[in-house]
Structure 1
Amino acid sequence: MAVVCSKADWFVTSCSTTLVALNRKQSGEPFVFDCSKAEKKPKESDGDNKSAGEGSEEKDSDRILAFAISASGKHVVLTDDHKRLVLFCTEPSWKCISTRWVVRRCTSLAFTQAEDEVFVADKSGDVYSFSILEPQKVGELKLGHLSMLLDVTLSPDDKYIITADRDEKIRVSFRRSPYNIQAFCLGHTEFVSSLLVPAGHPDWLLSGSGDGTVKVWHYETGRRLHSVDLRKFGLDSENTEKRFAVSRIISSPDGQHVAVQCEGFPSVQLFAVDCGTEGLLNPADTLTLPLSPWDVTFDSQNQLWVLLESEDMNVLLYQHFEQHWRLCDSECPELKRITDALQTQWHLFKDSVELESRFKHLYKVNFDNMASYLQKKQERLDMENKKRAAANGTKPNKKSKTESGAVPHSTS
């Protein structure tokens, strides 16, 4: 799957093993980084990784697992399936600063607002911090969960680390002393897949989940302010039993709009943030798309970019005008610059197609133990009946429901 993010003037996307960065305002060749050609891991440390608990049967690849851009757009970091952590600076020109190694495969990255550290969440439930000011310094373990982490973010004042895991929990920990937990935000019924502290609302936390809801929290106290069931917006109108997950929550830089993307649906749901009501998201528009989007992002001008799995129509651009979101003309100079640049690099995107849901194996599985027990009991009784019949030389008798384990009705 391809992922996109925009900060400052940069439009950055990852696809399979490659990171592509385009300047929205200036023409020129894109910056392209191919992880398959990056620095390889020293052989002497291979044994350490295997002993750390990750199965040796899991083959390394160079596929990018996550990337993040700092608030100023001056730094970008990515991590791949080969357990690299690659740090870039973007000014005055793109340059790889360092390549470090993580212990486990990572799921999410987050810069501090001060841009002095980047936090790395991994599949084993741990969070490490890596220095930006000392780009060769090894990572430091900060905190751990008992289950896989799916997202990590920080409060705007860098006071708290906020983590979300497979077991429906959102934990708010102190950054300077992560062993101190400030609060839990509990209420989702499936894994928490996405976190966001929206622009302009530093006390709020938005969370998306495999239960098909978006919730708004006052994260410092763990209090839930609002919950939105996305089934009400027609995302699942044809099949009410189908499960779906929120794959992305983003907010516009001005803090007035929130966009929600759900995996497997050809639409994006937009909300207007009601500043007069605490934590309320008001439905604004539903953008119907020609196919399910890869990813969405807001740029610094509050425009919404949608990345599609189509060479001919790879990017759509929406602008907010007269209380509605309008699709920009394909001849818009900024859009045309990005579209043309991506078309020249489209061969890199062909391997980004995912054949199955990336959340498929995260859902809870319910087992009907009683049905299995009754079935095995019935099979055992039938077998015993056949044995008795064979010993007596008679045909086996059919057992009554009472004899096969059902409780008879009592009469008074």
Structure 2
Amino acid sequence: MRREALSLLVGSLSCVLVALGFTRGIWWSNLHNGILGITLSLVGAWLATERPRSREGVLFLAAGLVEAVMFVGRQVGHTATGTVASWLGWLGVWPIVVGMLATTAAVVCFPDGHLPGPRWRPAALVACVVAAVAALLSALWPVEWDSAGLTLAPPFSLPGRGLADTLWHALALPLYLTLQLSWVVAVAVRWRSGRSRAPLLGLLLGVAAAFVVLVAGLIATHSPRPGLVMVSLVPLAAGWAAVHGHVLARYRALSWLTGAHDDSVGLPTALARTAAEALDAGATSVWMGDEAALHAVGVWPEPDADPAPAPLVGLPDRVWPVRSGEALVGAIVVPGAAGLTRREERMMQDLVAQAALLLDRLTLAEVVRRERTAGHLEHLTPRERDVLELMARGLTNAAICQELHLSVKTVEPLISTVFAKLGLHADPTVNRRVLAALEYHRG
């Protein structure tokens, strides 16, 4: 709660700074900074509130705060005079590179707050170093003062301005182009991976438009300003895509689950795929059993070999226990699922409730096949194994009698013996036919 309050405070501060800047009038050359300050901050506050453990909201908020400070500083430096106005103008000019770097980080790390892959780390480090040098040059020698359009003089002037101008032009302009190019590359890499496509769609359109305008502006006017104006639309596209993308993900997830409703054995795998699609997760599994022994009955993507049985405490993070009443009957595992929104958390709770119903419906057919392959049914006689398989197929006692050509007086004791050997005891709250093979391990 404290982190959420801080996020809202930073977002509000950015909006207040932009509002103060607009009291100085409309300056078209500075308009993009004000729009970016508001859009980045609002989207950042929303992401930070919805995903308290994600870095993405923090990145958006940081970029929005830098843009808001630059906007109000330039507004004052452009319309006022005096030493204070000059220093505020300086504060609105030199962090340009910082703002571009922060905005790039927010876009490249969208939507999960992480770089697209480990190979991006060296490039990110180089970009930070180059940006730091360019920002230092701009701070000590206001090399972007004239291009910013401020009418009053800088608050100070150090010797070596010519060399600083040369170094800055050699570093900053290529850096601007490279940073925005990285937006397109990062979105393309994430799109190719097949994850987070719905949130990326709107962002991709905004980034592509900004990049095209940036290149055209550099060619036509030798200035990145047109591209910077278009950048103000990117946070809005990202916010829209994040909201709309979650809706699409949930709809697709529901479609997978609905399409598998008539296949009892395939339901756990369908449930695993549902969770994976809804959370953009790389792997998900559904487990059945108790705290001492859980068995994977549905894994997505389907592995070459089934995961080994494990206790609840032995499952990888992150685990949602599935309970029927007070008793644990299974779990849904989504490794590495962090920074979920409140809506995603509520959705997972809904899936957990559905999982409790699905596991009750799960027949023993697949479980018995796995148990036989593992050699866990040797202590049953051939006739008892026949009875167990027929129960797994959903046959009633009367149907088993017909299938085996035996009387009820013969079949019922066989069923009781199977339950006894598997360690199951009569309990009106559980379906012993469903849990038989799994309860064997506990016994």
TM-score, with length taken from structure 2: 0.18
- Tell me the TM-score normalised to structure 1 length: 0.19
Higher normalized helix content (fraction of residues): 2
Answer with 1 or 2: which has the greater Rg. Answer: 2
Query: Which structure exhibits the higher relative contact order, with contacts defined as CA atoms closer than 8 Å and separated by 6 or more residues?
Result: 2
